[in-house]
Structure 1
Amino acid sequence: MTAETSERVCFQLQVKPERIPEYTERHRAIWPDMAAALKATGWNNYSLFLREDGLLIGYFETPSLAAAQTGMAATEVNARWQAEMGEFFVALDGAPDTGFLRLSEVFHLEDQLA
């Protein structure tokens, strides 16, 4: 996969402040089958960043956001993970992996250097 064939996705969610320690702990070592499913369905270079007030920023690269979400929706492990993780978020509309607010990219260095 090259940068030309990758969609860069950045999103935000809000973790309930009182749940931040548990949320952080659960992500220290996610379930191995969840990690494998993410990779297999195109969630590449995936990172989460958490501010101390609960603002969560996620970033990943994928050939297609729609295909990555559809692929994960078809896995049993994702259904279990989303059911457990949904309770950690404020004002979530749907599951965390589909209910996030996608952020618009306004700058990418490699694009400007090309």
Structure 2
Amino acid sequence: MTNTAARRVCFALQVKPERIDEYRERHAAVWPEMLRALKTTGWNNYSLFLRQDGLLIGYFETADLASAQAGMAATAVNARWQAEMGEFFVALDGSPDTGFLQLTEVFHLEDQLDALTTTATERSTS
């Protein structure tokens, strides 16, 4: 993604091993109202990846993380969803949508390619 207005957010949570199958089932058909709320509050290109041991990695793009989280916090559907999902996680500090461990991005292909292109363009114009 080369849109610099969007921020890439990656996070980790740990699903309780005994709840992994149910967690998968719940996410196979997320409530339509929840899906629409996520989209309208700025959670774009949102994906969840679940390892067999319960390690959950989430990724989404948003213009502003705090605004996206605040937008969801203001919806009734999110309160219901978070109340149900919170019980699936190990050592969760807060609700799943705010208590996750945010990961630091260390590499993004398009950013580095864009930097190469910009550097090459600057060299050719000097």
Class of the TM-score when normalised by the shorter of the 2 chains: over 0.9
Q: Does 1:75 align with 2:70?
A: no
* Correspondence 1:26 to 2:29: no
Q: What number of residue pairs does the alignment pair up?
A: 113
- Structure 1 residue 35: Cα displacement: 0.1
Indicate the percent of aligned positions where both proteins have the same amino acid.
79
In the TM superposition, 1:22-101 aligns within 5 A as 22-101=22-101
Query: Stretches of 4+ moved more than 3 A in 1?
Result: none
Query: In the alignment, residue 86 of structure 2 is paired with which amino acid?
Result: G
Q: 2:15 maps to what in 1? A: 15
Q: What is the CA RMSD across the aligned residues, in angstroms? A: 0.6
Cα distance between partner residues in 2 of 1:62 and 1:112: 20
1:37 to partner: Cα distance: 0.1
State the alpha-carbon separation in 2 of the partners of residues 3 and 104 from structure 1.
19
Q: Distance in 2 between matches of 1:3 and 1:60?
A: 13
* Cα distance in structure 2, aligned partners of 1:57 and 1:68: 18
Task: Report the Cα distance in structure 1 between the residues aligned to 2:17 and 2:51, rounded to whole angstroms.
Answer: 10
Question: How many angstroms does 1:3 deviate by?
Answer: 1.6
Give the superposition deviation at 1:91: 0.1
Cα distance in 2 for residues equivalent to 1:3 and 1:17: 37
Structure index of larger Rg: 2
Residues 9-41 of structure 1, C-alpha deviation per residue, up to 9 Å, x if partnerless?
A: 000000000000000000001000000000000
Once the two structures are superposed, what CA deviation does each residue of 1:80-112 show, in whole Å capped at 9, x if it has no partner? 000000000000000000000000000000110
Partner of 2:104: 104
Q: Deviations over 1:58-79 (max 9, x none)?
A: 0000000000000000000000
